[in-house]
Structures are given as C-alpha cells and as structure tokens.
C-alpha cells in the first residue's frame, strides 16, 4: 500500500483556493462540515488489551513494508472533480494512472469537462505533484511513523466489512505536510482503512479551513485508495469540494506476500 501522501496538499490546495475564487459560493450553501464522505456510524468498543501505541506502530510499519515490497505495478481509473456544495461540477478530469514500483507514476487523461482554468491551475498541478512526490522530486517526511506522530488508541470500530482499531493521530510538529485527526487500521492486516482530519498547519491566506477524508479498499490482498474528499473553505467565497475517485484497479504485477514475509523472517 502506498504511503498516505500529504505532500501534494499545500501547493495543490493553494492553487485550488485561488482558482476557485473566480466562482463564488451558491446562495444558501451548507455550512462547512467537519468530515465528509460516508460517516462511520458504528459505536466504538474497547480496544484489544494486547494493542498499545508501540505495537500499533510496529505492526503498521511492518505490514506497510511488506505490501510495498510485494506490489509491483497497477493501473486504475481516476476521476478528479471540483464541485460546490450544491453539487454542481465546476471542473472534472478522468484518466488512467499507472504505478510501477518503486517510484514511477504516469497519468493519461481520457476525458475532461468544466472550467479549463480550474483544470489548468488546480487539477493538473495536483496530478503533477503526486507524480513528483512518488519519484521523490518533492522530499518531505510525511509518513505515519513515531518520528512524526503520536497515536492515542480510542478503541475498535466497524467500518463497513472491516473491524478496525481507531486512534487519534497527533503530529509532533506544526508542519503543513502532516495532518491531525483520526485513523482506522484493519485489526487483521494492520492496513490503513480510513483517515479523516486536517493539515497540521495553515496552508495559505486564502484557505481558511481544510478537512479531508480518505478511504481505502482491499483488492486482491492489497489495500489501495478508494475515495478522497477534501472540503476547502475559501476566504470570501465559501466552501468547495475536491473529490478523487479511484476505480477499476488492475494489478499488473505482484509478488506473493507470504513468500516475501517468509524470506524476510529468514534474513
């Protein structure tokens, strides 16, 4: 599973905010929300007694390393959309994203609609930022590790078909490449299932508030992104929503995870 990537947020959302300033919010728009996407409604139960912050980090990092070692390549259909709170689509771009381990991504646009200016100044830089981040052209330490975060266990909670450990993630420094919020980790695979939160530091004068939700899905044993929603409160112009849908994943290369795990144990 690729790391959660906060690297593209600051530049992309800054451009996002400035670009959307040309499109005022609709009258009577909803008030700014704390979270988006599907709400998690199941009650939070007590955490397992054998799980603490140290073990949670250890399992999370070990399983992430295993998944990164075994996932060789995939393709997916991506749809980027900018909407307002009435649901009106301001700009949309769809295409195919290709990933090749360890650090190559490429995006080919297949369709686009809406404002060409929003696509040029917001969506295209967002896509380019992700590609640059994958190849380490933009290097910032934003991984979910003990160096960057503390995790406060809140309990266990059902998220769709997955029983998850819920923790509050607190960044150890005010860094625009980190986030603060909650994280849901699958209790069997120790993979990230859901994250909701906000950047740990203010992004720009124009962007007053940012909240985001990222959801993952399990495909052929690998946890891959399913949907991202980012709610941006733009100064003087109200709320806009950036949605990224991840669909039609095809794994074009993968090593056997059990064999890789066994080899790691022998070393």
Q: What is the pLDDT of residues 40-94, one digit of tens each?
A: 889 999 988 999 999 999 999 998 888 888 999 999 999 999 998 888 999 999 9
Domain ranges of the chain: 9-24+37-246
Q: How far is CA 25 from the centre of its chain?
A: 25
Q: Which DSSP helix (H) or strand (E) runs through 128?
A: helix 124-134
Provide the 10 A C-beta neighbour count for residue 136: 11
**3-class state of residue 205 by DSSP:** coil
- What ranges in 119-221 are assigned the alpha helix state H? 124-134
Task: Pick out the chain residues at pLDDT < 50.
Answer: 1-3, 21-37, 258-259, 262-267
CATH fold of 9-24+37-246 reads: outer membrane lipoprotein receptor (LolB), chain A (2.50.20)
Neighbours of 109 (CB within 10 A): 15
Q: Which residues pair with residue 198 across a beta bridge?
A: 180
pLDDT at site 21 = 47
| Beta carbons of 161 and 186 less than 8 angstroms apart | no
Return the pLDDT at 8.
55
Two tokens, residue 103: 């650090």
**Token pair recorded at residue 190:** 């120790």
Q: For position 146, what pLDDT does the model report?
A: 94
Centre a 10 Å sphere on the Cβ of residue 94 and count the other Cβ atoms it contains. Answer: 16
The reported pLDDT for the residue numbered 140 is 67
Helix, strand, coil percentages in the chain from 3-state DSSP, rounded to 5: 20, 45, 35
Contacts by residues 177-180 (CB-CB < 8 Å, ≥ 24 positions apart)? 177/6, 177/7, 177/9, 177/10, 177/140, 177/141, 177/142, 178/6, 178/142, 178/148, 178/149, 179/6, 179/212
């Amino acid at each position: 599973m690729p790391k959660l990537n906060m690297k593209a947020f600051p530049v992309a959302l800054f451009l996002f905010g400035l670009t959307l300033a040309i499109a005022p919010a609709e009258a009577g728009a909803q008030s700014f929300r704390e979270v988006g996407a599907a709400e998690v409604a199941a009650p939070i139960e007590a955490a397992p007694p054998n799980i603490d912050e140290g073990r949670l980090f250890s399992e999370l990092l070990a399983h992430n390393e295993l998944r990164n070692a075994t996932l060789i390549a995939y393709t997916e259909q991506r749809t980027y959309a900018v909407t307002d709170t009435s649901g009106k689509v301001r700009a949309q771009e769809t295409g195919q994203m290709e990933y090749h381990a360890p650090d190559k991504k490429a995006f080919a646009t297949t369709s686009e609609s809406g404002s060409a200016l929003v696509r040029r100044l917001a969506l295209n830089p967002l896509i380019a930022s992700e590609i640059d981040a994958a190849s380490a052209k933009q290097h910032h330490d934003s991984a979910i590790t003990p160096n960057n975060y503390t995790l406060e266990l809140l309990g266990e909670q059902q998220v769709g078909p997955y029983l998850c450990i819920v923790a509050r993630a607190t960044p150890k420094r005010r860094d625009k490449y980190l986030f603060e919020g909650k994280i849901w980790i699958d209790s069997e695979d120790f993979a990230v299932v859901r994250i909701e939160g906000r950047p740990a530091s203010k992004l720009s004068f124009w962007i007053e508030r940012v909240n985001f939700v990222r959801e993952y899905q399990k495909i052929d044993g690998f946890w891959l992104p399913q949907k991202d929603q980012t709610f941006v409160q733009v100064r003087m112009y109200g709320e806009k929503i950036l949605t990224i849908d991840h669909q039609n994943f095809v794994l074009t290369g993968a090593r056997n995870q059990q064999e890789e795990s066994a080899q790691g144990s022998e070393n």
